Amino acid sequence: MKSYKFTILYIILIILVNIGFVYVPLIPIFDIMFPPMTFVVGLIFILRDYSQREIKHKVLGAMTIGALLSYFMASPFVAIASASAFLISELVDWSYYTWSKKTLRDRILISSLLSTPIDSAVFLIIINQFSLVATSIMFASKMLGAFIIWYWLGKK
């Protein structure tokens, strides 16, 4: 029987992060108010890569399910912002991940490097919390997760 554990985790994490953006209060960092949930978002990109290994191109459907559930469980405004940013960045991530012939390890790192700054900037612009500092911190936190997985896969 085929396992869908990463796809299920991927959908659940999309929902939880969007709920967190609604309910977890902003914290001050470098004279800006920063959403702490951005430290968790990087895991979504990694789970997307693993989900794509499970269900191939249907991963875009899993993303849609996560966005629709977020619309009703979190906030329509945050869900739309998240889905918009995620759709744009996920298409970049998906394109690279799909067409690259590199190892899984390298595809995860490079696809994250390409897609996470786009996701961060678009999301923060839509929710009206954009700043270079916030975008940089979001990007760095997302890449930290990608580097950890990249390193871990290299140890295998």
Mean pLDDT, contiguous 10-residue spans, the chain (156 residues):
92 93 87 78 81 89 92 91 87 83 88 89 89 84 85 87
Residue 55 pLDDT:
94
User: Is residue 89 a contact partner of residue 122, using CB atoms and an 8 Å limit?
Assistant: yes
The structure tokens listed for 3 are: 């396992």
Element (H, E) at 61: helix 59-73
Find the domain containing 135 and state its range: 5-155
Alpha-carbon distance of 127 to 23, in angstroms, equals: 14
What pLDDT shows up at residue 151?
93
Residue position matching structure tokens 């966005």: 67
What's the CATH number where 68 sits? Answer: 1.10.1760
Where are the strands (E) in 2-138, listed by range?
Answer: 27-29, 32-34
Structure tokens at 54: 């499970």
Closest by CA position to 82, among listed 97, 95, 65, 70: 70
Sorted by sequence, the CB contacts under 8 Å of residue 4 that are 6+ apart come out as: 54, 55
Token pair belonging to 138: 């979001």
Q: How many domains does the chain have?
A: 1
Q: What is the pLDDT of residue 66?
A: 93
